[in-house]
A and B are shown apart, each in its own frame.
Chain A
Amino acid sequence: MKDVRFYGQGLPYRKLGNLKGHLIAIEGTDNVGRSTQIERLIPWLELQGHGVTNSRWTRSALLYDTINQAKAGHRLNMNTFTLLYATDFADRLENEIIPALEAGQVVLADRYMYTAFARSKAMGADPAWSRALFGFALIPDLVLYLKIDVEALIPRALEGKGMNYWESGMHLGYGKDLFESFRNYQRRMIREFNAMAQEFAFVTVDARRRPELIQNQLRRHIGNLLLGIEQAPAAARANGSAPDNPSPPASAK
């Protein structure tokens, strides 16, 4: 990493080695295609000789079972959930992400703390609290934001795994039925992500396009980072990424 910075207080008790690798977060709402894109990025990076670590949200050795049990039980309040997300993230950060960066790998993080920010805000939690909580997080070299609008997201969710209870915000009373709840909740999530795209200088990629085109965009941004080419988020947006207010689907240029 060129610039090792923490979001807040960091990990005061931990001596960091030289973080030679690169930390790239892929963000975006549920069903937007993050994992599919990452699966294709990995062999591409490996072919170029990079070691790659894919660090996935809620997949820490420590918390994976607990979070699933909690979801099955439907009994946790939002603060407890946010704390479990933070624990999972901290575990992966300290035991997976930082060691990989010290070993010079490219770390692709499938979701990052911004997901927790968006969710806890959509649940009505105090945003200052969840942000303070993630003060131990490393700031990524690059945050790639897969941006979509809710109308384009709906068919994708339905053709994929279907609308699930949590991704529809059913626990929050966002609508009278699953479909309505999904639309309202995801619209809210997307609004939160869009707001953070400005605040945290995400590099936005239009996720309504064909998967190959999205992949090409992602590779271009990652390629620039690995080659040490500076990229201003604003410039990236002007280069044909999604506009801030998605209007008619951006068909290929």
Chain B
Amino acid sequence: METRTSPHPYPGKLIVVEGIDGSGKSTQLALLHRWLVAEGHRVCFTQWNSSDLVRQAIRRAKRKNLLTPTTFSLLHAADFADRLSYQIMPPLQGGMVVLCDRYVYTAFARDVARGVDPSWVRQIYTLAPRPDLTLYFRVPIELALDRILRNRQKLKYYEAGMDLGLAREATQSFRLFQSRVLAEYAELVEEFGLRVIEAQQEITQQQLLVRSLVEEVLRDIRPRKLYERRALLRPRTALSKAGQP
């Protein structure tokens, strides 16, 4: 499959974070984003399930709990295809750094955990270019649960896999469903060479590792000139220095 084997031919770079809800990946990506901009890179950001049209359809359907594993998978693929053509491909072709909060691996992990055929869902996403770097934030279930419930009163229906009827109570359903998702991710680490970050570490510690991995990928990318000059004037931050491998 293309997504696995061939690097994309475009001048930009594609950087992806993956992991279950509560793994802290969005926090890490936001910190990375801020740093890259400060370094003078041209950065675009896009997240799973966020295209205008399809997101509305997904929201309506989720509100009514209308989705089956197949329609859940297909709607998210439609959202992805829409963002691919508008938000991912043009900046990649134009030489920008594209940051994606979740990518095809989310579908491979979640949809298969819901019961769709693994080869089917992989075929759908053959449209997608292979990322230059995919960071997988691996987290134990209980920590993920803790983090989510610290910020919110309730688990979401599909996030907890309530549509599968694994357990009547949401927290228990979350444990069972997300354990399946974690098991799928574990397979994907092998299959697609995802870079594992242990997400129970301190935020700063993870971020240092993230920055050093990203720096390697961006070695050939020239940041904006104006910022380059500014960067020379100001002392290098401790963070980026410590981030060197």
Contact = CB atoms under 8 A, between A and B. Distances in A.
Contacts of A9: 116-117, 119-120
Contacts of B60: 65
A132 interface: yes
Contacts of A79: 81, 84-85, 127
A70 B56 CA distance: 12
Contacts of B124: 83, 129, 132-133
B21 interface: no
Contacts of B82: 76-77, 80
Given A80-B78, A80-B81, A90 B71 contact: yes
Contact of A83 (B56, B69, B77, B126): B77
Contacts of B85: 77, 79-80
Given A13-B115, A66-B57, A90 B81 contact: no
A70 B53 contact: yes
A84 B51 CA distance: 13
B116 A13 contact: yes
Contact of B81 (A61, A63, A75, A77): A77
Interface in B90-123: 114-117, 119-120, 123
B70 A76 contact: no
Interface in A100-132: 129, 132
Interface residues of B, number: 30
A13 B53 contact: no
Contacts of A244: none
A7 to B, nearest CB: 11
Interface string B123-150: 1101100000000000000000000000
B203 interface: no
Interface string B52-96: 011011001100001111110011011001101100000000000
Interface residues of A, number: 33
A198 interface: no
Nearest to A70: B53
B124 to A, nearest CB: 6
A94 interface: yes
Contacts of B61: 62
A86 interface: yes
Nearest to A83: B78
B130 to A, nearest CB: 17
Nearest to B164: A13
A91 B119 contact: no
Given A94-B70, A136-B70, A69 B53 contact: yes
A84 B124 CA distance: 13
Contacts of B71: 62, 87, 90-91, 94
Given A13-B114, A76-B53, A132-B120, A84 B78 contact: yes
Nearest to A77: B85
Contacts of B77: 83
A12 interface: yes
Contacts of B119: 9
A73 interface: yes
B116 A73 contact: no
Nearest to A92: B71
Interface string A53-74: 0000000011101100110010
Interface of B: 53-54, 56-57, 60-61, 66-71, 74-75, 77-78, 81-82, 84-85, 114-117, 119-120, 123-124, 126-127
21 contacts: A9-B116, A9-B120, A10-B117, A11-B68, A66-B54, A75-B53, A77-B81, A79-B85, A79-B127, A80-B54, A83-B77, A83-B78, A83-B81, A87-B74, A91-B66, A129-B124, A132-B120, A133-B123, A133-B124, A135-B120, A136-B120
Given A66-B57, A77-B81, A87-B78, 18 more contacts: A12-B115, A13-B115, A61-B66, A62-B57, A62-B61, A62-B66, A66-B53, A83-B75, A83-B124, A87-B74, A87-B75, A91-B66, A94-B71, A132-B120, A133-B74, A135-B120, A136-B70, A136-B120
For the complex of A and B, 6 pairs with smallest distance between CB atoms: A13-B115, A9-B117, A83-B78, A132-B123, A66-B57, A87-B74
